[in-house]
Each structure stands twice: as structure tokens, then as C-alpha cells.
Amino acid sequence: MREQFQEELDGVSATLVQMAGLVKVAMEHATTALLTADLTLAEKVIADDSIIDDMQHELDARTINLIARQGPVASDLRTLVTSLRMSADLERMGDLAHHISKSARMRYPATAVPPELALTIEDMGRVCVKIIEKVALVLQNRDAERALEVEKDDDEIDALHRKIIQTLLDPKWTHGVETAIDMTLLGRYYERCADHAVSIARRVYFLVTGSYKTDSN
């Protein structure tokens, strides 16, 4: 019975890693769709978001069932309860890629991002994908040391987000209020995606070390 329980625990972790992989692809495609006005790719990200949603619902149901059937204690209980929170973070990250793709669709056939911010958005997408890849490895390997690195990567996203805000506040901004609102929201989507990744990394760090201590505190 213990062996079967361990297999089911491993299955929960494997599903979280799989979700992270799907979120990474979604964010990658959403950024490409945004910068190239690729409507087909944007529609694919929007449609595929339901796959991530369904995985979260199925995983949460499985996790709750495991808790009810097995009555786990100590580290096993922490692992299962934490998985519920991490699956919610991953689902939200998928939603943010969805929102980015909807911005691309809304402005089609124009490109939603003005030329002077294209490189910044490209960098935000690149760093976000790097963070998600790292989170997948943290989940897969229970890697506390790499979990701390996610906080540092998040600082890079925060700096890029500030760069967007500075550009919008520049008196030389000529693209109007509507585009400024679009860019404010887009910057926030990437910034929040990274925040959810940090949340996951902190939870894994806690599972491994028993402490919430991270690099930033």
C-alpha cells in the first residue's frame, strides 16, 4: 500500500512538471504572437489554455482524493497540500499567456507593441520562459538551490517592467492612451507570471528545507 501511495505522490509531481511544460510553450507562443501579429498562433494559445485548466482540476481532485484515502502526515501531507497551491499558480500563469494572446488578437492585423517597446517585450517573454523552465526543473528535482535562483531571475523581469513604465511616462510618447493601457497591462501580465513562478519556487524550497527563507529575505 505504501508503494502505491508513493507512486501516486510521484504522479502528482510529474503532473506539475507537465503543467509547467505547457505553460512554458504557451508563454513562448503568446510572446511570438504578440510581436508578430500572428493570429493563428494567438488563437492556439487561447484554445489550449483549457488543457492547462483541465489538468489543474484533475490534479486537484486527485490530490484531495489522496488526502482523504491515505490520511497522510508530515512531509507527505505538506507535499500534497503544497501541490494544490502550486497547481493554482501554474494555472494562473497559463491564464496570463492567454491574456497576452488576447491582446495580440484584439489588435490584429496591427502589431500590439510599438517599435520602441518591442525589444523590451521580447526580453520579458524570453526571461519569463527561462524562469518557467527553471521552475520545471525545481519541481522535477526538488532543487532548493535552483529555487533560490528564480528570485534573482524575477529581479530581471521587474527591471524590464520598470523600463516599460518609464517609456510610457516619457513626454516623447506618441502612441496615445489606448496603446499605453495595452502596454501597462502586458507588462503586468509578464510581471505577474514571474511572481507566480517565485511562489512555486518558494514552496519547493520549503518542502526541501522546512524553511521559508529565500535569497531576498
What is residue 5's predicted lDDT score, i.e. its pLDDT? 83
Contact indicator for 56, 12 with CB cutoff of 8 Å: no
Q: Which tens digits make up the pLDDT trace of 6-17?
A: 899 899 999 999
Q: Is the pTM of this model over 0.85?
A: yes
What's the number of CA atoms in the CB half-sphere (13 Å) around residue 144?
Answer: 11
Q: Mean pLDDT throughout 143-162?
A: 95
Mean pLDDT of the chain: 94
54-78 pLDDT, tens digit each? 999 999 999 999 999 888 778 888 8
DSSP-derived secondary structure for 92-139? HHHHHHHHHHHHHHHHTTS-SS-HHHHHHHHHHHHHHHHHHHHHHHHH
pLDDT for the residue 212: 73
Q: At what angle do helices 74-107 and 176-209 cross, to 10 degrees?
A: 170
Residues 80-135 pLDDT 10s = 999 999 999 999 999 999 999 999 999 999 999 999 999 999 999 999 999 999 99
Percent over 70 (pLDDT), the chain: 97
Q: What is the pLDDT of residues 165-201, one digit of tens each?
A: 999 999 999 999 999 999 999 999 999 999 999 999 9
**Per-residue pLDDT at 214 exceeds 60:** no
Task: Please name each of the domains of the chain with its CATH number.
Answer: 2-209 (1.20.58.220)
Residue 216 has pLDDT above 70, yes or no: no
